[in-house]
Each structure stands twice: as C-alpha cells, then as structure tokens.
Amino acid sequence: MKRIDEPVPVRPGEELDVGRVDAAIKTVVPGLTGEPAIEEFPRGASNLTYLIRYPERELVLRRPPFGYKAKSAHDMRREVTILTALRPVYPYVPKVIRFFDDPGILGCDFYLMERIRGLIVRRDLDLRLDPDTTRRLCLNLIDRLIELHQLDYRAAGLEQIGKGAGYVQRQIAGWSDRYRKSRTPDVTDFEEVMAWLQRNMPAHEVATCIVHNDFRFDNVVLNPENPLEVVGVLDWEMATLGDPLMDLGNSLAYWVQADDDPFFLETRTQPTHLPGMLTRQQVVDYYATKTGWAVDHFDFYLIYGLFRLAVIIQQIYYRYVQGQTRNQAFAGFGRLVNYFQQRCERLLRQPVL
C-alpha cells in the first residue's frame, strides 16, 4: 500500500534547468554534493511543486506555472511572507529555506522549503479505517481549518495580506472578471450565476480571519505513524484575510458525498463519500457549533465555492487550449466547467447542501 506521497518524472514542458537550480541551492544550503535528481509532484494544477533530491537531503521547490497567469496570481514573495509569519503560530506550515527573485535562474521568482514527509489523501483513502475512525479523521481535518480561522492575524503580523472591508464583494467581482477573461468558446457563460451571487451577497461578513482558500484533504499531510494526525498544510498561494464562511464554501465545493449524482461522484478528488465522513450539512453544523458563528443562508457560500472552483478550472483549461501547458489531465476540464454551471443553477433554484 502506498503511504508516502511521492513525486513522478517532470511533465514535458515543465522541466527546470538542473545546473542553475543546483548552483542556486548550494549557495544557501551547505553540505550538498552532486547534482540533484528533480521530480514533480503530480497533482499541482496551479503553482508547480518539485522534489529536489540530493544524497544528503530532500528539498521542495515552488514556482509559478508556465504560460498564462492571472494578474494577481502566483505571487511567490507573498506566499513566502505568509508561510514565514504563520509558522510560529500554526505549526502545520512548511518551513521556508530561501526565496529567490533572480530571473537569471529560472526566469521567475521561486522558493525553496523543507519537505514534510507523510501521507496525502487523494481520491481514495489508502488506509483501512472503520466508519468511526474515518469520522475522527474527517473531524481532525475540519478542526485544523477552524484553528486557522481562529488565529489572531494581527499577532502573527499578517494585517498587510488583506485589502480591508468588502472582501465578499471583491471576491464576486474578481472571480466573475477572471471567468469572462478566460472563457473559451466551448464553455457556458455563467452569467445567471454571477448575477445571482451579486444580488445575494450577505449584508455583513461574520468575521475577518486568515483564509486558506484551498483547504481540502489533498492539501494536508498526515502523520504516517498516526494517520489521523494532520502534520502539514500545503499550498498557501491563495491565502488572505477574509470571511471564514467563504473559505468553508470553497472547501465544500470539493466535498462530494455518497448520495451525489453520478457525474459529481466521478469528479471526486477526495474520499469524502466514505462511511463515517460527514456530509456537507454536517460539516456546516459542526463548524457552526465549534466557532459560534451563524451559518444562515449557507447556499450563497456553497454556490460561490462551486463557481470559484469552476473559474479556477477554466483558467487552467484556458492555458491548455492556448497550448501553454501540455498536461493531458486538463483536456476534459471544459466539460467539468459546464457541469458546475448546471449544478450552481440547480442550487440557486433549490438550495440543498
């Protein structure tokens, strides 16, 4: 049984210059010998993540994707700032070794960090857990999100990563604009959903906190000796200050449960359908109980999460259609975008978690 998340050979078109990477790393990490083997973690669809393997040590390198990038996306310096500030107060954050802003190395900013070795849960759970134990794993995941939302971002020195009041409005306007700019001829226009989100924004945000914006099973690392324990949280590129219910809605966009329709079940990327896993409604109820925040009219946050996920998928699909990435895993993303539009429209007519 495969327990440790492992990389694969680098995808065509996403290769790094080994000599330049080696020279840069050896300026900041002493005691390394030879030229490194470079592999790629396979599931990244946005920022790219590589394993740099020396005889003495394994390191992880993060860089932006090749090709098209949204204006505000893939800011490596910002990601490093967030990781560095969070690590003392949220121990699941990987340790950054060095940020590189010399374009002569890779032609882009990138950074080097420690590898957190452990189990990353993907589509299927490679563990034999009974329903009660599966439920404990599920609750541990949600608890880490709640812990993040309840951190004092001012004490962590992260006031500067947000843009002040109006987070919900900015999200709806921003993701709508991104969708329109990345739309390809074979996908729906999403105009009805965008108009509904604009009309139904909540009057007040429940709180302002650190939001991860991509919190899900395959972005956490589990302790291989105690797989119910979360030891790492990865992929902080979209973290900011905002409304925690928007973050929960983002997470539930990936939360496919056992009684969902066949196509949604086919899209599943995490094992949230298993006996013992909470349903979406149970996740919301548990979150509300633990935080004390009201979760009225959660249909808005769920539809927002699905729409936002559709935009992210469409931006990736746009790069594929334009030939800016050769990853064949993205070839069917247009069909997925169209499904999410249909799902959003069903939910806005009859809200069901």
Residue 68 has pLDDT above 60, yes or no: no
pLDDT exceeds cutoff 50 at 347: yes
Q: What pLDDT does 249 receive?
A: 98
What is the C-alpha to C-alpha distance for residues 86 and 231, in angstroms, rounded to an integer?
14
Indicate the pLDDT class of residue 67, thresholds 50, 70 and 90: low
**pLDDT tens digits, 299-312:** 999 999 999 999 99
Note the pLDDT tens digit of each residue in 70-83. 545 578 999 999 99
pLDDT tens, position by position, 17-46:
999 999 999 999 999 999 999 999 876 557
* Pair 212, 79: CB distance under 8 Å: no
Confidence of residue 3 (pLDDT cuts 50, 70, 90): low
**Which string of DSSP letters, residue by residue, matches 112-149?**
EEE---SB---SS--S---HHHHHHHHHHHHHHHHHHH
**pLDDT computed for residue 253 by the predictor:** 97
Work out the average pLDDT over 266-287.
96
Question: What is the per-residue pLDDT for 43?
Answer: 65
β-partners of residue 241 are 210
Range with top average pLDDT, 3-7, 44-48, 224-228, 348-352: 224-228
pLDDT mean over 199-214: 95
pLDDT tens digits along 145-197: 999 999 999 999 999 999 988 999 999 999 999 999 999 999 999 999 999 99
Please say if the pLDDT value at position 217 is more than 90.
Answer: yes
Opening angle at CA 143, ends 137 and 145, nearest 5: 115
Question: For the whole model, what pTM was predicted?
Answer: 0.91
Q: CATH 3.30.70.270: does it fit domain 131-349?
A: no
Residues 315-326 pLDDT 10s = 999 999 999 887
Which candidate, 19, 16, 110, 82, places its Cα nearest to that of 241? Answer: 82
pLDDT band at 69 (very low <50, low <70, confident <90, very high): low
Three-state SS at 7: coil
Is-contact 343 305, C-beta < 8 A?
A: no
pLDDT for the residue numbered 1: 39
For the segment 97-152, what is each residue's pLDDT rounded down to a tens digit? 999 999 999 999 999 999 999 999 989 887 889 999 999 999 999 999 999 999 99
Q: What's the pLDDT score for residue 350?
A: 85
3-state class of 8 per DSSP? strand
Question: Percentage of the chain with pLDDT > 90?
Answer: 82
Q: Which CATH architecture has domain 18-114?
A: 2-Layer Sandwich (3.30)
More confident residue, 158 or 327: 158
Mean pLDDT, the chain, integer: 93
Domain-by-domain residue ranges, the chain? 18-114, 131-349
- Asked, colleague to colleague, whether 18-114 and 131-349 share their fold, the answer is no
Residue 100 in contact with residue 109, Cβ under 8 Å?
A: yes
- Exposed, middle or buried: residue 280 (CB in 10 Å: 0-12, 13-18, 19+)? buried
